[in-house]
Amino acid sequence: MDAPKTNFLNTCLFFNTNVFSRHLLKLAELEFAHLKISPAHASLLLLVFETPGISPKELSRLLQLNPSTVTRFVDALAKKKLVRRQNKGKVAFIYPTPRGLDIKAKVAQAYKNLYLKYSEILGPETAVMLSHRISQASERIKTSLALKDDPIS
């Protein structure tokens, strides 16, 4: 017996956003593979490049990740000597290392290439519209769950 051409999954936002996310992640992993960093680590690196001395708490807020996840990311990037921590009292601040700064342009280019690839596939207007709408929807769900200050890992 053949599977139905449409089913409840075709209209399930949860299912479809997860499938879309997995496909988009594969595209991103291909773009960042030559740098030997994950797309998530690249996102953190770009924020550190943009704001040297950024706190893990601010990284957590901007990346919408739990602090423990940010700590793991920073640990992994520090191990690769791409970032360093500087402690001031009980607070740590994250800075790019010279080695990290050496790949800054490559990280930015990989992100640009990723954008160009998914924009070519989806069309630039659709890519921008989807990003904007998903961001809005995510914020609405987060607010409705009263998780405003509790990032998701």
Q: What is the pLDDT of residue 118?
A: 97
> Which CATH number covers residue 19?
1.10.10.10
**Do the beta carbons of residue 63 and residue 77 sit within 8 Å?**
no
CA distance 8 to 6: 7
**What is the rounded distance in angstroms from the CA atom of residue 138 to the CA atom of residue 130?**
12
Residue 58 located in a structural domain = yes
Q: Tell me, what amino acid is at 32?
A: F
- pLDDT tens string 1-56: 566 677 888 889 999 999 999 999 999 999 999 999 999 999 999 999 999 999 99
Selection from 100, 13, 118, 114 nearest residue 54 by Cα: 100
Range of the domain at 98: 15-144
Read off the pLDDT of each residue in 63-85 and give the average, rounded to a whole number: 96
pTM value is 0.85
